[in-house]
């Protein structure tokens, strides 16, 4: 009977050990899961692409909203010169009303939790009215874009644009 009590005690002690091990394992897995859920995520390629699309939607259709999609210290290097945010808005406004068709290709995106960098080729076709009449301007650019998270919104901080091909056609 004494042997029975000792064996019974060992049996329950082993069950208790296994239960404690299981509880520790479950607790470790649970904590790991919640820590992984709270890890900051990289900016998605889709968010970077959406920001690029929004940028040009604003440039082509509502330039007065340009400040909504760029940082306060935004600048762009285009036409072999640097433009501040306000200078670029004035430059775009100098064209008056225009029609634009743009396409992007060979877009390469690199992101982290707070920023995105895109390199791409852009093709643009524009119908512009000048004092001499309507013209079609066709451009191909090689471009680089740097975006940062600002108050949970991805905004453009820097844009580099180099024309690699341009054609102007009179439509008169």
> Rounded CA gap, 129 and 95, in Å?
8
The pairing of strands 98-111 and 81-84 is: unpaired
> pLDDT tens digits for 78-122?
988 999 999 999 999 998 889 999 999 999 999 999 999 999 999
Q: pTM score, two decimals?
A: 0.77
Q: Is the pLDDT of residue 151 over 80?
A: yes
Report pLDDT digits (tens) over 20-42.
777 776 777 777 766 666 678 99
- DSSP-based three-state secondary structure for 110: strand
Report which of 82, 80, 79 is spatially closest to residue 95, judged by C-alpha positions: 79
Residue bearing the bigger pLDDT, 52 or 34: 52
% of the chain beyond a pLDDT of 90: 69
Which one has a higher pLDDT value, 97 or 45? 45
Q: What residue has token string 């060992």? A: 10
Mean pLDDT check: name the lowest of 2-16, 33-47, 99-113, 133-147: 2-16
Average pLDDT over residues 10-28: 75
Cα 127 to Cα 42, 101, 136, 170: the distances in Å are: 38, 9, 5, 10
């Amino acid at each position: 009977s004494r042997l029975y009590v000792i064996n019974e005690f060992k049996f329950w002690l082993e069950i208790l050990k296994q239960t404690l091990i299981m509880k520790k394992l479950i607790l470790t897995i649970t904590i790991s899961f919640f820590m992984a859920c709270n890890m900051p995520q990289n900016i998605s390629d889709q968010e970077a692409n959406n920001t690029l699309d929004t940028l040009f939607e604003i440039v082509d259709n509502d330039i007065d909203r340009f400040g909504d999609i760029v940082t306060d210290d935004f600048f762009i290097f285009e036409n072999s010169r640097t433009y501040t945010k306000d200078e670029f808005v004035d430059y775009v406004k100098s064209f008056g009303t225009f029609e634009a068709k743009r396409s992007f290709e060979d877009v390469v995106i690199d992101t982290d939790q707070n920023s995105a960098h895109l390199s791409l080729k852009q093709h643009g076709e524009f119908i512009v009215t000048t004092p001499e009449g309507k013209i079609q301007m066709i451009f191909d650019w090689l471009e680089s874009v740097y975006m940062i998270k600002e108050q949970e919104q991805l905004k453009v901080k820097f844009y580099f644009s180099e024309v690699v091909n341009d054609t102007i056609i009179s439509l008169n």
